[in-house]
Structure 1
């Protein structure tokens, strides 16, 4: 049987993150970069040259032109969040599958318009949260669902911060209300919320309460905030995100029998290996001067970087639809929507003087 041809991906916009994903498309065995678009052909051409695009890749001087390209199966969309709803809906209507950067929209109402366009056109959509595709994540999930080693989940604490320099805090699109107006909450907070939902088997919390002390810039964009999440059965979580504190990417998940720690969950310290530590049935020694059952470290090697694993999975799903008439996998848009719902709730709670926001029925 002849090997299926790789999924042809067009890159809609030349944002910085598109460099990393372009490399990932090159590395994924079942995908290829077939085109790139910018608002000027010169910029698109320079981007293609700088990122080693194949000579066959088409250069488009407008986004519309790429949407109309018949030699493109899917689009990677790294545009500012405020532009997602317009271009994702238009792309879906043109039959292009979507790998959409996070946050997926400015709010869940916008994302629901994107989902509706995808559903009515048989389009696969996946957001660009790379770390969930790292082989380590699957191993972490296996530990968290083990009744003997971990028990029942009680609480999750997740933090993602990095210290943006003066130029970042003044000029980056993530601090501009008209571009990525969700700020640190939409960028760094997205990851902490996804980690929390993953640990809770993607069950939405009953309520979300922003914690006092968020820091906003003069334009009202969040630079730093934290929130408390609460589930019906008493499970809890805290998330913390910031553009103003040292680089930290932590998850701590505590169960009745075990604890999971990860210190580099978004971008591993090294590209080809990733680790996490677990501690099961830990207690004190007899003199209460140390621990019994010390934590153990689990190291997982990966041949492909996590972003290439993401592209590979996205291309696999698109291939199933294109070559075998499969239905799009609804799991990916469902977890994007839940992550966005929690983002919206944190923002709403900040605006309502830190009131709890009830998520039941949303």
Structure 2
């Protein structure tokens, strides 16, 4: 039986920019430790380790396989281009390494199912890198959305995530390359919009999706801006917009029969140690229709660790439990798969003149 007090030893495969954030998170998380980093060259891996405060005891490898072959590594974080996820996540699972995988998890649901089959076959934990799911604000939001008296029945969701990129990004970033991250803005920022919508529906998949007009592609055919509407059999509807060509925006609104909830920083909170949301309950106008009664209220949720640390902490807890005889937690791959299925349907509609695309689980 493994020592339950021992930190989970992480190997990082690849030196992408997002890996800097996760390296810091692992360093700050009590039940995790940075044990190794692998890159396509040992020089690059060594530079990354030095720049990101890896412990002196950590190992530096000049290949991804070397990290997976290290018997002292418990889990790996994979921030590789999406097109490489299926190869390296499967290899990691086959080496009995638990898998924390950056989003989007795969190019399509078929590839994701290949990853999950490998994880299930080898008894390892899978989790994607949707960090905001682990912030305590998210659980507070779920409480409000499930409150039948104050929120009521969900009717609509509107989600928007976009940011403005540089000309160099548009020309050289992997998220604009069809052979590396061919999902473009839909995979990078649309993933978060879709996840926020599914959170509100308690992960009930929509019946069908339809891409909205106005998609912008680059010259290689990769999505830079797009949107879609999502529809459920009971009449719920959601819309989202995602883009690399707009000012930074991270808004989501949930509308129920009795209440409304707003967030303006749902992916990355304005501050690391706290995050807010506002709620309006049974809102109306005053007698002269010059103001709201009652006014919406602001709610602030404090946290002792940044949300990426909370993700690492939860993942590490699950890994430790498995090492001591528990089964992998199945909800995290289920959330990932439903997000991927919805994303696939939106992509199909985008590239087929906004045709209606039904989702089959």
How would you bin the TM-score normalised by the shorter chain? over 0.9
Q: Which residue of 1 is the match for residue 7 of structure 2?
A: 6
Report the CA distance between 1:155 and its aligned residue: 0.3
Report the CA distance between 1:4 and its aligned residue: 1.5
Report the CA distance between 1:353 and its aligned residue: 1.2
Matched, 1:156 2:176: no
Unaligned runs of 5+ in 1: none
Judge conservation of contact 2:277–2:299 (CA < 8 Å) in 1: yes
Distance 1:171 1:127 in 2: 25
SS in 1 for 2:180: helix
Distance 2:262 2:221 in 1: 34
SS in 2 for 1:267: coil
Q: Which residue of 2 is the match for residue 354 of structure 1?
A: 354
Judge conservation of contact 2:42–2:61 (CA < 8 Å) in 1: yes
SS in 2 for 1:110: helix
1:125-178 Cα offsets, whole Å, 9 max, x none, are 000000110111110110111011100100000000101111111111111111
Report the CA distance between 1:112 and its aligned residue: 0.5
Distance 1:27 1:253 in 2: 33
Distance 1:318 1:239 in 2: 34
Q: CA RMSD in A?
A: 0.8
Q: Which residue of 2 is the match for residue 140 of structure 1?
A: 141
Q: Which residue of 2 is the match for residue 233 of structure 1?
A: 234
Map 1:35-54 to 2 at 5 A. 35-54=36-55
Q: Which residue of 2 is the match for residue 305 of structure 1?
A: 306
Distance 1:236 1:228 in 2: 7
1:1-60 Cα offsets, whole Å, 9 max, x none, are x76100001000000000000000011110001100000001001100000000110111
Q: Which residue of 1 is the match for residue 35 of structure 2?
A: 34
Report the CA distance between 1:352 and its aligned residue: 1.7
Q: Which runs of 4+ in 1 moved over 6 A?
A: none
1:270-304 Cα offsets, whole Å, 9 max, x none, are 11110000000000100111110110000011110
Q: Which residue of 2 is the match for residue 221 of structure 1?
A: 222
| Superposition TM-score, scaled by structure 2 size | 0.99
1:305-358 Cα offsets, whole Å, 9 max, x none, are 000000000000000001x21110110001100101111101101122111111
Q: Which residue of 2 is the match for residue 87 of structure 1?
A: 88
Report the CA distance between 1:209 and its aligned residue: 0.7
| Superposition TM-score, scaled by structure 1 size | 0.98
Query: What is the total number of aligned residue pairs between the two structures?
Result: 359
Q: Which residue of 1 is the match for residue 101 of structure 2?
A: 100
SS in 2 for 1:212: coil
Distance 1:191 1:184 in 2: 11
Distance 2:4 2:96 in 1: 24
Q: Which residue of 2 is the match for residue 255 of structure 1?
A: 256
Distance 1:140 1:225 in 2: 26
1:214-252 Cα offsets, whole Å, 9 max, x none, are 000000000000000000100000011000010000010
Judge conservation of contact 2:4–2:320 (CA < 8 Å) in 1: no
Distance 1:60 1:7 in 2: 19
SS in 2 for 1:83: helix
